[in-house]
Structure formats: structure tokens, C-alpha cells
Structure 1
């Protein structure tokens, strides 16, 4: 059978080219630790990796939102704790005023402290979160409480603030509106209760009845604040669950990505050495082949 020299050359060249390409691929896998870098390496695996990458990006954004929401809820929790402390102190002052005969000095002292408590509560009611948004605001994002020229404090917001996205089609409300927390539209408006009792103190008459009324109203107000506080705590627990779920999903995707993308380094190094050995042998054979003359080859 006549053997074509050109065909022999072509086969050898093709084999060396394929081996060289394989060696380059294996060397790249060893250097990067990845077996899928380009779509041509494994189209199906490349599409799977792209899907995992998009899911990672989405969940990373959600995780940041969860962290932001947790921070805001922590601020709301601290603020409500401060509000509860102020209300409890006001209750103590109402009780003190209603249980004994008050001197002028007592009236002035209690009145001034209650005015200070009212001012502190007003500031807390208009506190802003880390985004600069009012913790107890409505949909407008404006400060929820306003003080009129006569000192009357009223809730001026409306609607519900926008939630923070923490998952696909899932949002979290991180605050509570001031009308709920402070019962701003009812007779238990904490600002009005304090102002009315302070006015009764200033009148100089018997304040026992007024003190009892104020204490009862403030107990109702405290119940509203405590309920808002409990709601904040429950949402904090829910957020922690979401954060844990995002962490678990990220770990699962990382495992899936590794199974698709990461190389078995020991096996790849071994295969690379084998490929180089075959390539070197093929090159040596080709060198000897090209050194033969046509006469020697046909002889």
C-alpha cells in the first residue's frame, strides 16, 4: 500500500496541534483552578454558572438590604426603649403629684420635668434612621410630628412608608407610624396628656383627679408604645431568619459552583504531565520522520 507523505505529515501536525491545545487548556485550568472559563469549554456548565452568578448578585443585594433593615430596626428598638423610659418617668411624676400635698416648689419642679419629658418625647418621635428617614414617619418622608405656636404637638404624616426589598417579591416595613406608636389621634396622645396635666399644676388647684386621669391615659399610651416595640422585635426576628436563609442559599450555590467549575488539581496535573509526555514523543517521532528522504521512507 502506498503511503502519502503529505497525509502522514498532516496527521502528525493535527495530532501535535490537538495535544498542544489540550496542554494549554490543562495548564490554564491548573493556573486558574477552574475547568470552565469560556462558554466554549462547556456550554451547559457555562450557562449554569451564569445562572448561579446572577442569583449571587441578587442575593448579595438583598443581604445588604437586610443588613440595612436590621440596623434601622435596631435604631427603632433603641428609640422606643427611650420613649418607654420617658413615659414611665412621667407616670411616676403623675403618681407623686396625686399622692400628696404639693408645695409651690413641688409644682414647679414637677411641671418643669414634665415639660422636659414632653420635649424629649417630641425629639424622639421625630428621630431619623440611618437613611435620614423619620423612624415614625408616613409615606411622605417628612417629619411626622409638628409643634404649633401654642405648644400643641400633632401627627402630620399620612400613609405607610415604603418597605425595603429583602427577597423576590418580599419587602419589610422597618418602622412604625407615629399615629400607631404614640396614639396621636386619640385621647391618649402622650403630648396632650402631659400638657394638660402641666396646665393643671400651674392652675394651683387640687391635681389628684387630674393626676389619676393622666396616669390612666399614659398607661394606655405606654401600652401602644410597648405593642409597637414588640412589633419591631418580631420583625427583627423575621429579618434574622431571612439573613440565615440567604447565607444558606449562598453556601449551597457556592458548593454547586465548585462542583461545576473547580478542577481536581491533582488529576489535572497528572493529565497535563501525561499530555506533555505524549506531545514530546509525537514531536520526536515527527522530527525523525521529516529527516527521512522520500527514498529512505519508501525503501
Structure 2
């Protein structure tokens, strides 16, 4: 009888200890807002959560790269806007200079402005980025990783924009092309001037069209960066939601279970104390 009583007492104490442990764990889950405190709690969820965390870490790095690249792309586009505006004015002046309605003094004034714009173009070609490097490098521009095996160059190369423009007279720098136009409209011989000015106007129109193409290319690069940023923002939201479902504590459900277990423990302790009070005295006796 005593052994049986002791067994029942031990079993009830063990049950209440388990309840107490479950209550403590529920309180911890609520406090930490996570239901997984060790991998053994849910191996499958833990493994998936680790995959998500790795993906989030990679995407955080790529997003930072996109931010840096986007800043460079924005500066490049702003600079190209200046080039476009300048080249539009160059074309306007050359069109006026070749109409034959302006005198030598007018053409000299046009030439002065053209040379000033050539100098401006030369300065724009040397624009530096935040790292102190050329925004439009001579060779291929720096490719920035923005995904797994995905790279984007945030700005175009100077080749084909400021340098190596293919004209009928051979490759020219953009600044040189403008200076040649200024020289052409200042020629004193009318026939020679008209011929040279017409050729220079063709080169200027070619350069204007080429600048528009290059700016379109720059716009494509910026759009790719924007698309990648939006994709990662969406991915970050989905990953965060999945991670929360995998390891996050369902607070209302856990609180309800906690309260139920606490009530069970309180009731069990009260009954245990009342029923076994005399039995405990008998055992001690």
C-alpha cells in the first residue's frame, strides 16, 4: 500500500513538473517571440529557416550594391542630360551657321560659344564618382553584382560617347568634333567654309543621335537596377513572413495554452495537496 501510494505521488509530482516546465517554456516562447529555441525543437523548420537567413543575408548585400550602383546611375544620367543639352545647342548653332544669313562676326561669336561648349564637354567626360574614379571609364565600366551571377554596370563607357565617335573623317573625340565645327565656320573662303561646315554639321547630328542612343542605354541600366530593387524588396517581405511562420510564436494561441496549463497545474496542486495531506502524514509516521 505504501509503495503504491508512493508511486502515485511520484507520478503526480512528475506530471505537475512537466506542466510547470511546459508553462515555463510557453512563457519563454512568448517573451522571446520564437517557438524554436534549439534545432531539435523542429529540425525541418530550423533547416528551412537557415536557408531563408542565408538568402536574406545575400539579398541584403545585393540590395546595398544596388543602392550604390543606383546613385552612380543617377549621376551618370544627370551628366548625360548636360551632354544632351549641350549637343542640342551645338547642333542649333551649326544649323544657323550653315544657313548663309549670318556674317563673319556672327560666325565668330558662334565659334566662341562652340569652343566653350567643347571645353564643357571635355570637363563632363572627366566627371568623377563618389569613389574618385571616372564616372565614364575608358574601358568597360565596373560591373556590380546584384544577384546570383547577375552583374550590372551602373554607367556607360566613355568610348562611343566622349571618345571614338565614328565619323566620315575617322574616329573623333566629342570635344574635338565640336572644336572642328568651330574651325569650319570661321574659314574665310566661302566655298571651303560651306563644305567644311556642312561636313561638321553632319558630324554634329551624328553625335547628337549617338548621345541619345547612349542615354537610352544608360536608362536601361537604371531600369534594371530599379527592377532588381523591387524584386528584392518583395522577396524580403516574403522571406520575413515565411520566417515568422516557421519560428515565430503564435502569441494568442500560446497565451491560451499557457493559461489552460496554468489552470490545470493550479487545480492539480490544490487537489494533490488536499487528497494527499493525510497520506503524507501517514508516510512520515
**Which TM-score band applies after superposition, normalised by the shorter structure?**
0.7 to 0.9
2:151 aligned counterpart, secondary structure: strand
Which residue number corresponds to residue 141 of structure 1?
none
How far apart, in 2, do the equivalents of 1:293 and 1:110 lie? 116
How far apart, in 1, do the equivalents of 2:51 and 2:97 lie? 68
Which residue number corresponds to residue 173 of structure 1?
153
Which residue number corresponds to residue 189 of structure 2?
205
Within the candidate set 197, 222, 232, 1:236 is matched to 222
Q: Deviations over 1:146-190 (max 9, x none)?
A: xxxxxxxxxxx3x31331111001110111111122352533532
How far apart, in 2, do the equivalents of 1:82 and 1:268 lie? 62
Query: How far did residue 290 of structure 1 move?
Result: 6.3
Q: Give yes or no for the alignment of 1:194 onto 2:178.
A: yes
* Alpha-carbon contact 1:183-1:221 (below 8 Å) kept: no
- Alignment TM-score, normalising by the size of structure 2: 0.86
How far apart, in 1, do the equivalents of 2:121 and 2:280 lie? 104
The structure-2 alpha-carbon separation of the partners of 1:172 and 1:295, relative to structure 1 and needing over 3 Å to count, comes to closer
How far apart, in 2, do the equivalents of 1:298 and 1:214 lie? 116
* Alpha-carbon contact 1:77-1:229 (below 8 Å) kept: yes
- Alignment TM-score, normalising by the size of structure 1: 0.82
Whose helix fraction is larger, Structure 1's or Structure 2's? 2
How far apart, in 2, do the equivalents of 1:5 and 1:292 lie? 12
For this pair of structures, how many residues does the alignment match? 279
The structure-2 alpha-carbon separation of the partners of 1:28 and 1:294, relative to structure 1 and needing over 3 Å to count, comes to closer
The structure-2 alpha-carbon separation of the partners of 1:295 and 1:136, relative to structure 1 and needing over 3 Å to count, comes to closer
How far apart, in 2, do the equivalents of 1:295 and 1:174 lie? 85
* Alpha-carbon contact 1:93-1:110 (below 8 Å) kept: yes
Q: Write out the 4+ residue segments of structure 1 that deviate beyond 6 Å after TM superposition.
A: none
Query: How far did residue 23 of structure 1 move?
Result: 0.4
How far apart, in 2, do the equivalents of 1:233 and 1:209 lie? 36
Which residue number corresponds to residue 223 of structure 1?
209
How far apart, in 2, do the equivalents of 1:220 and 1:294 lie? 105
Which residue number corresponds to residue 85 of structure 1?
85
How far apart, in 2, do the equivalents of 1:81 and 1:91 lie? 15
